[in-house]
């Protein structure tokens, strides 16, 4: 592989999310979120794992900041727990103080804080009132945003409204493999819209209260390929692209839902929850678009006869997250695969970034997540020789560089994840960290990938 360098000022970072690392689930006035309820419901998560303790970051945050410094990172992407800082629609000072200390700690170390307002942990009381399918939840999100952005302001470098609203809507309310575990197709589409609306409402709050901060949203855009060059398979790609990608890109960046999405889903919903002006509200101008990339998607139009695969990589359920696309099948893809069963294909990273370059040429991009779970083994000397993770990261970072060479305006890269953590329905079984967490002792150990990443960051170039 040829030596690959990155533009001066390229932002290298690591990412985490509140429920996945913090623990301290009922400390200092935190209220339950939908993930507390879901993970405590028997059968919902692997081994019944919950985020009650997680990586105990709430108590070990100072140590964890030390790891960021030693890695030499320029940015840290974390999320703020809504039920910790704004339970019952009122400020919880102890919760806000936690993030205030974290942000100040980052600034003292010269690390740019990249804060996500919502990484899936809706306060349970708002789910009880209807959750994201209900419009009022978007207004409650605006209230929460006003309070926390008012408190932290532009000490935060980049405010990200949502992480992967696709997952919140379709996995939370469609297939039910994520909290709150509902399987209501029409409600999932209403959730899509209220998440988009909430993004616009909160985005305007950020603009007003933190005028020097940058505004972003993070999407898990799908790289969708057809199983054949038939017209039917091309149409499968179009339909999944509408649900997965353009349901968000449309309102957020172009100010309108795509007509084919509304037509495809008409048997399920008339979208009457979209009110005049909502799409304009959703399209608040962004400074940077966050891109999460892990693998690719392969689809065909099902012939109604042959066995289906439904291998979309998003967890097994009797209910599809692909609302109104029951005749689209998702095919397994050639390996190698990660421990999530996701195929490893760095070319998809380049492809995605070039699509965004073409469609939104003036919008800066940031890789806000990329990484891999593998069944790590601890060597007798305590080291973790995670060669496959190093290889995964090396090839994907190289793919980002290839896109930059071809004109994609990518400003940074955040590895998922700083630490092993609670991988949602997969609990603690799937480890994504470049730093290992021993969940019995909470001891952190750098894996080989952390050492490799430090070298990459120090040189702003792929190590040999
Ligand atoms: C993304 C999530 C993140 C983590 C990775 C593996 O979908 O944003 O929290 O679970 O996948």
- Give the pLDDT score at 408: 98
Strand partners, 79: 116
Q: Give the span between the Cα atoms of 126 and 134, in whole angstroms.
A: 9
For range 145-169, the mean pLDDT? 98
Indicate which atom in ligand 1 lies nearest the CA of residue 167. Answer: 7
Give the residue among 106, 18, 13 at the shortest CA–CA distance from 62.
Answer: 106
Residues of the chain with pLDDT > 70, as a percent, come to 100
Could you tell me the two tokens for 258? 């795509």
Say what the pLDDT of residue 22 is: 99
> Taking residues 186-212, what's their average pLDDT?
98
Mean pLDDT value of segment 390-399: 98
Q: 392-410 burial, b if ≥16 CB within 10 A, otherwise e?
A: bbbbbbbbbbbbbeeebbb
pLDDT 10s digits, 293-334? 999 999 999 999 999 999 999 999 999 999 999 999 999 999
Averaged pLDDT of the chain: 98
Strands of 249-341 (E only): list them: 288-292, 297-301, 328-330
- Residue 369 CB less than 6 A away from ligand 1: yes
pLDDT band at 108; cut points 50, 70, 90: very high
SS3 for 358?
helix
pLDDT at 179 over 90: yes
| Minimal-distance CA residue to ligand 1 atom 9 | 17
Q: Look at the pTM and tell me if it is higher than 0.75.
A: yes
Confidence tier at 376 by pLDDT (50, 70, 90): very high
Q: How is the beta sheet containing 328-330 ordered, strand by strand?
A: 224-226, 297-301, 328-330
Whether pLDDT at 208 is above 60: yes
What is the Å distance from ligand 1's center to 432 Cα?
9
CA dist., res. 5 & res. 142, Å (int): 40
Q: What distance in Å separates the CA atoms of residue 369 and residue 100, rounded to the nearest whole number?
A: 24
Helix (H) or strand (E) holding 76: strand 75-79
Ligand 1 lined by 245 (C-beta under 6 Å): no
Q: How far is the CA of 30 from the centre of ligand 1 (A)?
A: 23
State in Å: Cα 192 to ligand 1 middle.
Answer: 18
| Across 6-35, average pLDDT | 98
Is the bond leading into 180 cis (omega within 30 degrees of zero)? yes
> Both ends of the chain: CA-CA distance in Å?
8
Q: How far is the CA of 304 from the centre of ligand 1 (A)?
A: 33
pLDDT, tens only, 214-266:
999 999 999 999 999 999 999 999 999 999 999 999 999 999 999 999 999 99
State the distance from the centre of ligand 1 to the C-alpha of 14, rounded, in angstroms: 13
464: confidence class by pLDDT, cuts 50, 70, 90: confident
State how far the Cα of 460 lies from the Cα of 269, in Å rounded to an integer.
Answer: 49
Q: Which of 5, 2, 13 is nearest to 288 (CA)?
A: 13
Asked whether 220 lines ligand 1 (CB < 6 A), one says: yes
Q: Is residue 312 within 8 Å of 222, Cβ to Cβ?
A: no
Residue 2 has pLDDT above 70, yes or no: no
Mean local confidence (pLDDT), 138-161 = 98
> Probe ligand 1: pick from 424, 425, 426, max atoms within 8 Å of CB?
424
For ligand 1, say whether the CB of 312 is within 6 Å of any of its atoms.
Answer: no
Widest CA span in the chain: 63
Q: Stretch 204-220: mean pLDDT, rounded?
A: 98
In ligand 1, the atom with minimum distance to the C-alpha of 218 is 8
Give dist(CA 388, CA 84) in Å, integer: 36
Residue 45 has pLDDT above 80, yes or no: yes
Q: Read off the pLDDT band of 165 (50, 70, 90).
A: very high
Among 21, 33, 292, 339, residue to substitute to test ligand 1 (most atoms within 8 Å of Cβ): 292
User: Above 80 in pLDDT, residue 1?
Assistant: no
Question: Which residues make Cβ contacts (< 8 Å) with residue 50, sequence separation at least 6?
Answer: 25, 36, 39, 40, 422, 427
Tokens 């009122």 belong to residue: 90
DSSP 184: -
Enumerate the active-site residues: 164, 369
> Which of 371, 397, 382, 384 has the alpha carbon at shortest distance from 448?
384
- Name the strand (E) or helix (H) holding 444: strand 444-446
Question: Are 229 and 301 within 8 A, CB to CB?
Answer: no
């Amino acid at each position: 592989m040829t030596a690959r360098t990155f533009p001066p000022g390229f932002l290298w970072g690591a990412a985490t999310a509140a429920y996945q690392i913090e623990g301290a689930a009922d400390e200092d006035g935190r209220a339950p979120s939908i993930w507390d309820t879901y993970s405590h419901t028997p059968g919902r998560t692997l081994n019944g794992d919950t985020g009650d303790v997680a990586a105990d970051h709430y108590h070990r945050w100072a140590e964890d900041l030390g790891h960021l410094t030693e890695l030499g990172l320029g940015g840290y992407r974390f999320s703020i727990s809504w039920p910790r800082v704004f339970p019952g629609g009122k400020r919880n000072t102890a919760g806000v103080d936690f993030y205030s200390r974290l942000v100040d700690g980052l600034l003292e170390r010269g690390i740019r804080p990249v804060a996500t307002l919502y990484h899936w942990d809706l306060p349970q009381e708002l789910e009880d009132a209807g959750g994201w399918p209900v419009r009022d939840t978007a207004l409650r999100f605006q209230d929460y945003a006003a309070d926390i952005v008012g408190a932290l302001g532009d000490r935060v470098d980049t405010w990200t409204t949502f992480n992967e609203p696709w997952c919140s809507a379709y996995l939370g309310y469609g297939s039910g493999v994520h909290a709150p575990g509902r399987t209501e197709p029409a409600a999932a589409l209403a959730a899509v819209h209220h998440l988009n609306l909430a993004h616009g409402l909160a985005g305007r709050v950020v603009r007003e209260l933190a005028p020097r901060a940058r505004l972003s949203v993070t999407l898990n855009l799908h790289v969708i390929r057809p199983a054949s060059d038939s017209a039917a398979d091309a149409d499968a790609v179009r339909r999944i692209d509408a649900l997965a990608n353009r349901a968000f890109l449309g309102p957020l960046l172009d100010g309108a839902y795509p007509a084919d999405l509304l037509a495809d889903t008409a048997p399920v919903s008339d979208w009457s929850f979209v009110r005049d002006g909502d799409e304009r509200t959703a399209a608040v101008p962004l400074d940077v678009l966050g891109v999460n990339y892990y693998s690719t998607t392969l689809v065909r139009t099902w012939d109604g006869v042959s066995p289906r695969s439904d291998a979309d990589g998003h967890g097994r359920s009797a209910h599809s997250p692909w609302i109104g696309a029951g005749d689209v099948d998702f095919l397994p893809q050639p390996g190698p695969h990660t421990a999530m069963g996701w195929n490893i294909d760095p070319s998809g990273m380049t492809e995605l970034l070039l699509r965004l370059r073409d469609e939104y040429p003036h919008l800066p991009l940031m890789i806000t997540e990329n990484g891999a779970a593998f069944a790590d083994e601890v060597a007798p000397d305590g080291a973790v020789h995670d060669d496959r993770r190093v290889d995964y990261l090396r090839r994907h970072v190289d793919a980002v560089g290839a896109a930059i060479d071809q004109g994609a305006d990518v400003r940074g890269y955040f590895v998922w994840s700083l630490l092993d953590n609670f991988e949602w329905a997969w609990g603690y079984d799937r480890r994504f960290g470049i730093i290992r967490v021993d969940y019995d002792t909470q001891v952190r150990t750098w894996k080989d990938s952390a050492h490799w990443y430090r070298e990459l960051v120090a040189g702003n170039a792929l190590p040999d």
